[in-house]
Amino acid sequence: MKKCHITFQLNGSLREILVDPNQTLVRMLREDLGLTGTKNGCGEGDCGSCTVLLDDEPINSCLVLAAQVDGHKVTTIEGLADGDKLHPLQTSFIENGAIQCGFCTPGMILSAKALLEQQPNPSELDIRTAISGNLCRCTGYQKIVESIKAAANNCQGES
């Protein structure tokens, strides 16, 4: 199988890599690049735990081929913190008890980040809709929703 040569922005750095044409983005991130913060919960687009941002839009990275990100920008959970300074959503998830098993957390935070960038002051329904593709079996979503609200308020306060 002839490999594809792709170049893309990954968490702010330019990356070049050879990938199999049938390689999914989630497998490239996890297996070829060692970025295991992106989780693989189903491999078929149902659970949302592999959510990453592709050009700032949340996508299921199990449903995107690695070759498709050529020339684009990908953000994973590893790209959110600035050194040891966590992103406000990460801080909010920690402080408000939004994390239990943590397997959905990276995808959940990235979906929330995409939402807050488009809608800095979302309604509860906006938040619930934005994360409706990210399944969580532990929390009942309540503390996740509260965390996203709190992060939105904090960001508003800062700007």
Partner 1 sequence: MPKKQFDVLNTRAPRVDAAIKATGQAQYADDLNRTGQLYGAILQSPLAHAKIISIDTSRAERLPGVKAVITAKDVGLTPYGVSPARYDETLFASERVRYIGDEIAAVAATDLATARQALELIKVEYEELPVVLTMDDAVADNAPQLHDDYPGNISAEVHQEFGDVAAAFKECDFIHTHSLTNKRQDGGFIEPHACVAEYDHDGRLTLYTSTQVAHYVQRTVAMVTGIPIGRVRIVRPCVGGGFGPKCEATPLEMSASFLAIKTGCPVKLTYSREQVFLHSRARHQFFHEMTTGFKKDGTIMALDHTCRLDGGAYSSFGIATVYYAGSLLGAPYRLPNMKYDGTRIYTNKPACGAQRGHGGVAARACFEQQLDIIAEELKIDPIKLRMMNMMETGDTTCNALDMSSLGMKECVEAVKKSSKWQKKKGKLPDGKGIGMACGFFVSGAGYPIYRSDTFHSTAEIKVAEDGGTVILRSGIAEIGQGADTMVAMITAETLGIPLSDVRVDSGDTDYSVDLGAYSSRQTLMSGHATKDAAENVKAQILEVVADKLNMDVKNLDFKNGFVKVKGRKKLDFAKFRDYYRKEHRGWPNLPEGDELSFTEAARMAYLEKGTIVGTGKYKPPILGGKFKGAAVGTSPAYGGSAQVVEVTVDRATGKITVDDMTDAHDCGLAINKTMVEGQMQGSLSMGLGEALFEEVKFDEKGALMTPSLGEYRIATALDMPNIDTLIIESGEPNGPFGAKEVGEGAIMPTIPAILNAVYDATGVRITELPLTPERVLLALKEAGKNA
Q: Where along the sequence are the contacts to partner 1 (CB under 8 A)? A: 30, 34-47, 49, 76-78, 80-81, 86, 90-91, 93-97, 99-106, 109, 127-129, 131-145
CB-CB contact of 103 with 41 (8 Å): yes
Taking the least distance from each CB to partner 1, the nearer of 41 and 58 is 41
Question: 3-state DSSP call for residue 8?
Answer: strand
Pairing of strands 51-54, 73-75: antiparallel
* CB of 136 vs partner 1, minimal distance in Å: 7
CA 43 to centroid of chain Cα atoms: 15
Taking the least distance from each CB to partner 1, the nearer of 61 and 105 is 105
Taking the least distance from each CB to partner 1, the nearer of 64 and 131 is 131
Taking the least distance from each CB to partner 1, the nearer of 7 and 45 is 45
* CB of 84 vs partner 1, minimal distance in Å: 10
Q: Give the separation between CA 43 and CA 27, rounded to whole angstroms.
A: 10
Please name which of 101, 86, 99, 110 lies closest in space to residue 38, comparing C-alpha atoms. 110
* CB of 48 vs partner 1, minimal distance in Å: 9
CB-CB contact of 52 with 98 (8 Å): no
CA 120 to centroid of chain Cα atoms: 17
* CB of 89 vs partner 1, minimal distance in Å: 8
* CB of 158 vs partner 1, minimal distance in Å: 19
Both tokens assigned to 145: 């929703």
Taking the least distance from each CB to partner 1, the nearer of 7 and 87 is 87
